[in-house]
Structure 1
Amino acid sequence: MTSAATVIGSTGLVGHQILATLLGLEAYEAVYTISRRAPKTEPSTKLNATIEADTTKWASQFAAISPTPKAVYSALGTTRAQAGGIQNQWKIDHDLNIELAKAAHAAGTQTFVFVSSAGTRGLLSNVAAYPKMKNGVEDAIKSLDFKQAIILRPGLLMGEREVAHTGGPLFEALARGVGKHLGQGLQDKFAQDAHVVARAAVNAVKLADEGKAPSKYWVLEQNDIVKLGRDEWKA
């Protein structure tokens, strides 16, 4: 059965991989994106890309998508440095994600997928800004009561970024060194390739469509991501 999906954050590390994965699957006849710049993908007749620099217009542009996408994937996020401060980062990572989730729910989207982050429910979850942002979005999605909500909590994300994060190349090199010299299993406990996270998101939606999700609010931790996105992935 074919369907439509929307990817938010399609120009980012994981969002780009989600988009590429969806475009390569026959199960999706149309894939929509809304972004500030054009996503870098192979040409595809399935892709319907909306380019809009003003993020305050994204929710209304989402509402205009027809037919309503059955699944929405949000890997939307930025860094404090790229945003120009914590307040601006909050507007994107927290406020815009919640606004789009509400727009998706109002439009009738059945499945909403959010790429969050590991470790946000720890001791500093009510103090540090980053976990508060991620947890706020997770809680909002849960409260919206989608037919199916899927939250992914990956660890250190590995892959080629358009804009390198401060210290990112060093941490990735260390993670890959752990995998090479101490074993893939150890690396899997704290770091995942972006394409593995993307495939886990897509695979989870497929399982949910087949009635195999363990609950309507399904949280995938790092071991679940590795399982669905690499060990059990079938294109």
Structure 2
Amino acid sequence: MAAASITSAVFGATGLVGAHIVTSLLTLDAFGTVHTITRRAPKQAADAVLSKKLDAIVEKDTELWVPKLNELLTAGSKTAAPPPAVFSALGTTRLAAGGIANQWKIDHDLNVEIARAAKAAGVKTFVFVSSAGTRSLVARMLPYSKMKNGVEDTIKELDFDQAIILQPGLILGDREVEHQGAGTFKALVKGVGSISKSWHDSLGQDADVIARAAAHAALLASQGKAPSKYWVVDTAAIVKLGRDEWKF
């Protein structure tokens, strides 16, 4: 008997990594319906093939996202049970948010609320795209690191059956709103990559590789192959799962 397909919900589905996560899940046979809650329709909704597995909920008010998620998790949408896997690549920039306080509401508070709602509804696997290098003595004092670390710590405390934390380096790809100074760092990574592929891989990873790593890790977890209950996927593991071992 074939294994049941994995239903999932994705937050940050119109962002750089999140959009690639949605595409990865939609193209993998192991995953069934993919639910998204976004302020605008994800690009996959316009694709005749990909949209067949997509349940896109559009809600411009982010304060209503968790209530929408609760409806989805407790009553089901196109499925009779809540999605066993929830992914969050949700994040914004200080510039786009209009200041650090507003960025905190999205990058930290909303991610924490999503994780708590998922746990309360019985979601088995929670996947969060965080960031590398946020725990060092200097970095941990920065607002961005505090946001990421706070979400990671909450997910760990919630004690999901399976938590997967991806910690990429510089995320490579074209954003609608670029992070301040990112262009310079991307040029640096590209230059380093012309000298050493391994140096490039340790410094920055392409958004589609990070997304595929997230999907691959969730698939392995569903098969009981995750190395630990709280699985931190570092830069080397991201490249391994999302590029070198991506055979789907």
Structures share fold, TM-score greater than 0.5:
yes
CA–CA distance in 2 between the matches of 1:19 and 1:204? 14
CA–CA distance in 2 between the matches of 1:126 and 1:118? 11
Contact 1:124/1:131 (8 A) holds in 2: no
| Identity across the alignment (%) | 58
Q: Which amino acid aligns with 1:78?
A: T
Partner residue in 2 for 1:68? 82
CA–CA distance in 2 between the matches of 1:150 and 1:162? 26
1:28-72 superposed Cα distances (whole Å, 9 cap, x missing partner): 220000111111123411111111111111111011111311101
Q: 1:224 aligns with which of 237, 240, 245?
A: 237
For structure 1, the 5+ residue unaligned runs are none
Is residue 148 of structure 2 the alignment partner of residue 148 of structure 1? no
Q: 1:89 aligns with which of 77, 100, 103?
A: 103
Q: 2:177 aligns with which of 163, 166, 174?
A: 163
Aligned residues: 234
CA–CA distance in 1 between the matches of 2:166 and 2:90? 13
Contact 1:78/1:89 (8 A) holds in 2: yes
CA–CA distance in 1 between the matches of 2:139 and 2:113? 22
Partner residue in 2 for 1:123? 137
Q: Which amino acid aligns with 2:172?
A: M
For structure 2, the 5+ residue unaligned runs are none
Partner residue in 1 for 2:198? 185
SS at match of 2:13: coil
Contact 2:134/2:140 (8 A) holds in 1: no
Is residue 29 of structure 2 the alignment partner of residue 26 of structure 1? yes
Contact 2:202/2:236 (8 A) holds in 1: yes
Partner residue in 2 for 1:234? 247
Is residue 51 of structure 2 the alignment partner of residue 38 of structure 1? no
Partner residue in 1 for 2:187? 173
CA–CA distance in 1 between the matches of 2:27 and 2:37? 19
SS at match of 1:77: coil
Q: Which amino acid aligns with 2:87?
A: Y
Segments ≥4 residues shifted beyond 3 Å: none
Partner residue in 2 for 1:54? 61
CA–CA distance in 2 between the matches of 1:94 and 1:159? 23
| Range with greater deviation from structure 2 (154-163 or 194-203) | 154-163
| Range with greater deviation from structure 2 (162-171 or 25-34) | 162-171
Contact 2:18/2:89 (8 A) holds in 1: yes
SS at match of 2:67: helix
Q: 1:6 aligns with which of 1, 6, 9?
A: 9
**Distance apart, 1:201 and its partner CA:** 0.6
CA–CA distance in 2 between the matches of 1:78 and 1:60? 21
Q: 1:15 aligns with which of 6, 18, 33?
A: 18
Within a 5 Å distance, the mapping from 1:127-142 to structure 2 comes to 127-142=141-156
Q: 1:202 aligns with which of 215, 221, 225?
A: 215
CA–CA distance in 1 between the matches of 2:60 and 2:18? 17
TM-score (norm 2): 0.91
